[in-house]
Amino acid sequence: MALTPVGTTLGYSGRTAANVRSITGPTQTLGQIDVTHLGTSGGYREFLASFRDGGECTFEMFFDSSEETHQEDIGGLKHQFNLGTAITWTLTLSDATAITFTGIITGFEGPVISDNEAVTISVTIKVSGAVTMPS
């Protein structure tokens, strides 16, 4: 059954990021090792699986300077960016499914200002380790 995005949240350190407009990821990948050699038959490259990468998670929020998570003070996302330490993130879908991962904020963009649109900020998280999804 398809899920509605209404009610989806992204939380960290006991807080919920405010005014989230969109979330993408985590975008997990599997590394490959090219083991093609001159005697490989058929003319196609051959690969082995390598390390998995938890990827990145990006999200965009409508900026509101009165929201704690939008501030540079302790607990705010900009503060977490400045610390550069890994924290636990929980992406909770509208059906209460929780996806968890540990990650470091590696990008903090904004505020982004353009005509006919609300002011936004964007955050990029680099996942460190595995992404846990319900089975």
- Which residue ranges make up each domain of the chain? 9-127
Q: Burial level of 58, CB count in 10 A (0-12/13-18/19+)? A: middle
CA neighbor of 90 nearest in space, from 22, 27, 5, 13: 13
Judged against a pLDDT cut of 90, whether residue 135 lies above it is answered with no
**The domain 9-127: what is its CATH number?**
4.10.410.40
The pLDDT assigned to 2 comes to 93
The pLDDT assigned to 73 comes to 86
Asked which of 9-18, 22-31, 69-78, 91-100 is least confident by mean pLDDT, the reply is: 69-78
> Mean pLDDT of all residues in the chain?
96
What tens digit of pLDDT does each residue of 94-128 get? 999 999 999 999 999 999 999 999 999 999 999 99
